[in-house]
A and B are shown apart, each in its own frame.
Chain A
Amino acid sequence: MIISVRVRSKIQKLISILVFLLLFFMAYVPGAKAAVVSTISDTMTRQKISTTSNHTIVFTTPTGIANTNTVTLTFPSSSFTMGASLSGVTIADNGGADNAVTSASYATNVLTITASASSTVAAGHAATIKIPTAQITNPGTAGSYKITIGGTFGDTGAFAVPITTGNDDQIAIAADIDLSITFALSTNSCALGVMTTGAVASCGPFTYTVGTTAGGGYTVTVQDEGSGTNPGLYKSAATTKLIATSTATLAAGTEGYGIQGAVNSGSQTIAAVYLKTSNNVGALSRTATTISSYASATSADHVTNVTAKAAISAGTPAGTYQDTLTFLATGNF
Chain B
Amino acid sequence: MGKIKTQFNKNYQKSLSIILALSLLFVSIPHAQAASLSTLSDTMTRIKVSTLSNHTLVFTTPTGIAGAATLVVTFPDGTANGFVGQSGIDYTDVDLQDDGSDVTLAASPTGTTWGAAFSGTNLNVLTFTNGSAAVAASSIITIKIGTNATSGTTGDKQITNPNTSGSKTITINGTFGDTGSIAVPIATDDQVVVSASVDPSITFQLSTNSASLGTMTTGAVASTSAVTLTMGTNAAGGYTVTIQDQGNGTVGGLYKSSVPTKNITSGTATLSAGTEGYGAQGTTGTGSPTISSPYNTSGNGVGQLQRTAQSFITYGSPTGVTNQTSTVTFKAAISASTPAGSYADTITLLMTGNF
Q: Is the CB of B198 within 8 A of A316?
A: yes
Which of B46, B191, B234 is A318 in contact with, Cβ under 8 Å? B234
Bitwise, A321-333 to B at CB < 8 A (1) or not (0) is 1111111111111
Structural contact, B193 and A324, CB atoms closer than 8 A: yes
Question: Are A195 and B321 closer than 8 Å at their CB atoms?
Answer: no
Q: A residues within 8 A CB of B188?
A: 184-185
Q: Please, which residues of chain A bring their CB within 8 A of the CB of B194?
A: 189-192, 203, 233, 308, 322-325
Is there contact, CB below 8 Å, between A323 and B236? Answer: no
**Nearest neighbor of A314 in chain B, beta-carbon distance:** B321
- The count of residues in chain A whose C-beta lies closer than 8 Å to any C-beta of chain B is 59
Q: A182-B185, A314-B320, A315-B320 are in contact. Are A330 and B44 (CB under 8 A)?
A: yes
A sample of 11 cross-chain residue pairs with beta-carbon separation below 8 angstroms, ordered by A number, consists of: A180-B183, A181-B167, A183-B187, A190-B195, A194-B199, A253-B321, A318-B235, A323-B193, A325-B191, A332-B39, A333-B39
Known: A203-B194, A317-B234. A332 touches B41 (CB 8 A): yes
| B195, A192: Cβ atoms closer than 8 Å | yes
Q: What string of 1s and 0s marks CB contacts (under 8 Å) between A113-150 and chain B?
A: 00000000000000000000000000000000000000
CB-contacts of A258-278 with B (<8 A): none
Is there an interface contact between A313 and B321, defined as CB atoms closer than 8 Å?
yes
List chain B residues, Cβ under 8 A from A286.
Answer: none
* B interface, over-half SS: strand
Which of B184, B192, B193, B232 is the one whose CB lies under 8 Å from A327? Answer: B192
Task: Pick the most buried of B39, B41, B169: most chain A CB atoms within 10 A of its CB.
Answer: B41
What chain B residues lie within 8 Å of A191 (beta carbons)?
194-196
* CB pair A331 B184 closer than 8 Å: yes
- B8 neighbours in A (Cβ, 8 Å): none
Q: List A contacts of B319 (CB < 8 A).
A: 314-315
- Would you call B41 and A326 a contact (CB within 8 A)? no
- How many residues belonging to B are interface residues under a CB distance threshold of 8 Å? 45
Complex Cα distance, B235 from A262, in Å, reads 37
- Which of B44, B165, B182, B188 neighbours the largest number of chain A CB atoms within 10 Å of its CB? B182
Tell whether, in the assembled complex, residue A182 and residue B167 are in contact, meaning their CB atoms are under 8 Å apart: yes
A239 touches B236 (CB 8 A): yes
Q: Is the CB of B183 within 8 A of A188?
A: no
B181 interface hit (Cβ, 8 Å)? yes
Q: Which residues in chain A, 208-223, are within 8 Å of chain B measured between CB atoms?
A: 210, 212-214, 216
Say whether A172 faces chain B, with CB atoms less than 8 Å apart: no
- Cβ-closest chain B residue relative to A241: B236
A194 vs B45: C-alpha distance when bound (angstroms): 32
User: Chain A residues with Cβ under 8 A from B182's Cβ?
Assistant: 179, 331, 333
